[in-house]
Amino acid sequence: MIDILHIILFVFLVAIGIAIIRLRDLFAAVMLAGIFSLLSATLFTVMDAVDVAFTEAAVGAGISTLLMLATLSVTSSEEKPTANRRQALIGLIVVTFTGAALIYGTLDMPSYGDPDAPIHHHMAPRFIEDSPEEIGIPNQVTSVLASYRGYDTWGETTVILAAAIGVMLLFATPVVSRRREEELLAPGEGSG
């Protein structure tokens, strides 16, 4: 059953999404995108998906916001208006089609929290009954993520590690030797 808190969070998410679309100030749009991610993480937490909420908070609100702010520091913070209405219309059509396809793809899904959903008849009972003996971890979510879905978790960890390395490489300053720096500053000297 949908709680009033879910509705409030969804209303805020829609309002922030519309505000992001309408803004021309890119700094404000980046800040609102970070707030959108934090609200999404809050919604995931309310829906008892704490692992997804943690990832959304770390990647969506943390790393993505940092990368967008770093990009804004080397570019303009104002969006340039597009004079080409045809491109805007094509973009709107593509986004509308993609949204409609995603909504169509969810029509046959069971309702949120439905006890008759297939997952509750096959995998969940096995995890609940067998994980304490098979894995030895008392927390069932941890046992599923650490063992049964170990390859997925390893893949997710690898992606986050690759993203962190990419961020460090983006912010790394090139090390130039002192002699090379002097050669660059005073060309022609010493080349006799």
Q: Write the pLDDT tens digit of every residue in 55-104.
A: 888 888 888 888 888 888 888 777 777 667 788 888 889 999 999 999 99
* Domain regions of the chain by residue span: 1-79
Coil, strand, or helix at residue 78? strand
* Residue 7 pLDDT exceeds 80: yes
Check: CB of residue 56 under 8 Å from CB of residue 34: no
Distances (CA, A) of 64 to 2, 71, 75, 148, 183: 30, 11, 16, 29, 39
- Taken in order 34, 40, 44, 47, the sign of the CA dihedral is positive
Q: What is the pLDDT of residue 37?
A: 92
Nearest CA among 2, 9, 8 for reference residue 39: 9
pLDDT at residue 192 is higher than 50:
no
What pLDDT, in 10s, does the model give residues 150-185?
777 777 778 777 877 877 777 776 655 556 666 666
Condensed to tens digits (0 to 9), the pLDDT of residues 110-133 reads 887 788 888 778 777 878 888 888
- pLDDT tens digits for 22-38? 888 889 999 999 999 99
Placement of tokens 């309408």 in the chain: 22
